[in-house]
Every structure is written in C-alpha cells, then in structure tokens.
Amino acid sequence: MCAEAFNSILIRLARAARALDHMLAALSNPLDKRRSDVVETAAEAFDRELLYLAAAFDIYGRLYAWLLDTSKDHKTIRNQSLDSRDFVNKLVQKQYDETLLDDVIRLQKYAWVCKHLRNHIHDGILQVVTAVGDAIGPADNRTLGRGGGGQ
C-alpha cells in the first residue's frame, strides 16, 4: 500500500510539473503573436496542473490517515487531504511538534486554493457554440466554452 501510494504521489507531482512546463511554454509566446490555440493550450495545462496537484493532496491525506490506523481498509478512507485545515489540525498537528509544522500550516492554504480553484473550474457547464475555424481546419467548428461568446 505505502509504496504504491508514494509512487502514485510522485507520478502526479511529475505530471503537475510537466503541465507547468507546458503552460509556461505556451505563455512564452509574445503577446502580439498569441492566438486562441495558445490560450487553450495554457488553460488546458493549468487545468492538468491543478488536477494532478489535487490528486497528490488526496492520496497523501488518505495514506497518512491509513498509516495512523492501519486496521482500517485504506479503500474506505475518504475526505482526508492536505488541502483540509481540519486534516492538518486533527491528524498532523497531533503527531508533530508545532515548530516543525510552520511550512505545512502555511502551505495548506495554497493547497486549499488549488483544490477549490480546480473544483470551481469543473463546476461550470460548458456551452457548445459555433466558432470560426482557422486556416488549417474547417471554416465552422463546434467548440466548448464557458459563458457567452464561444471563447
């Protein structure tokens, strides 16, 4: 269980780092030369980064809770995540001296923002709209977009 969970965390963190690289590469295009495909590439990479970070927070939280009580079936442990202030307060702070947890407590807020931003992005309903195609594809494409305007 532990080796698989740690491996899963490492894989997700590596994927999040790769997604950050993709986002930065897309955003490195000069402002006057950015097209909608650059914006889409950056947005998709940002979404993947949030997804993989949120997954790593959740896996770590469930693993930590299981390590504290290995009599539990690890598959039934839910709602334990590094993004939760309650998780840090109720489980982590009980196990460590408070002076060792400054970074954990400080960074938990960023984990919370990451998770909520990801959930907010995926909470919206994407509208199907007609958009003008580029020179490569058909002249009329069906696209997904948030809100009006088909962006």
pLDDT in tens, 65-97: 999 999 988 888 888 999 999 999 999 999 999
Task: Output the average pLDDT for the chain.
Answer: 83
Can you give the pTM of this predicted structure? 0.75
Beta carbons within 8 Å of 151's beta carbon, 6+ residues apart: 36, 145
User: Model confidence at 145, in pLDDT bands (50, 70, 90)?
Assistant: low
Q: How far apart are the first and last CA of the chain?
A: 44
Q: What are phi and psi of 149, to 5 degrees?
A: 95, -15
Q: Is the pLDDT of residue 114 over 60?
A: yes
Identify the bridge partners of residue 140 per DSSP, sorted by sequence position. 132
pLDDT on residue 150: 42
pLDDT in tens, 6-32: 999 999 999 999 999 999 998 887 767
Longest dimension (CA), the chain: 63
- Would the CA dihedral through 101, 107, 112, 115 be positive or negative? negative
Q: Which helix (H) or strand (E) holds 130?
A: strand 127-132
Identify residue 127 by its one-letter amino acid code.
Q
pLDDT on residue 148: 47
Virtual CA dihedral for 77, 83, 89, 90, nearest 10 degrees?
-10
DSSP-derived letter for residue 88 is I
User: Model confidence at 151, in pLDDT bands (50, 70, 90)?
Assistant: very low
